[in-house]
Amino acid sequence: MKKSTLLFLSMILMAAPAAFAAVGDGPTITHFAFGYSAVQGDASDFVDDGWNISGGVTIMPNPQKPFGIRFDVAYNWWDIDPQDISDSSGVLVAQVDDGSASMFSVTSQALFNFGGDGKLGGYLAVGIGGYSRYANLSTTAYTTGIYCDWWYCYPATVSGQVVVADDRLTKFGYNAGLGLTFELASGSQFYLEVQYHYMISDPATEYMPILVGWRF
């Protein structure tokens, strides 16, 4: 019984590296990544850098060639700096002490793999996509009311966050990426990637994710 168990475990361990075909040998490459998202352009004056999570698949029409088409779904989140909002005449409208912005994107890219004969390789990707940006600004508001506990009621002032402005915008945009890949024993790849995204808006929304990911 013990010999058969050891044999079975040995077969699993020997088969594990082959569980994933070497990246690029098959018709598809799946990827998943997360990392830092740096805001670029005018938005960086009032939006702090945040994070990104993304994933998708690359279709290789001919696995023997380095060209593919990558589809990616991503979510970025950023924090908004506290700031004062004034109207066109300079009159203070609201004091913002909290807020956030996010971007959901679905993109497609033409991808070119290079290197990869040894342990180190890489790829270039350029494409277009759909982008949906959402932002909200909030401020602390105080309200006075009657608070009651088990024994009696008394007047009290409580605070809470009130949204003073929010906005959603969906537009097309374009993007580019450069990645470095590191071959793993399983045939899958660990990768580092820098991307640039530009949503066509006025003003433009620009950001640059710096990602750590896995291709398999």
Q: Which residues of the chain have pLDDT under 50?
A: 1-2, 5-20
In Å, how far are 99, 134, 199 from 76, measured between CA atoms? 15, 10, 13
Architecture per CATH, domain 23-81+101-135+168-215, reads as Beta Barrel (2.40)
pLDDT of residue 8: 44
- Collapse the DSSP code of 151 into the 3-class scheme (helix H, G, I; strand E, B; otherwise coil) and give the result: coil
CA–CA distance, 53 with 58 (Å, rounded to integer): 17
pLDDT of residue 71: 98
Q: Are 161 and 140 in contact (CB under 8 A)?
A: yes
105 pairs with which residues across the strands? Answer: 74, 131
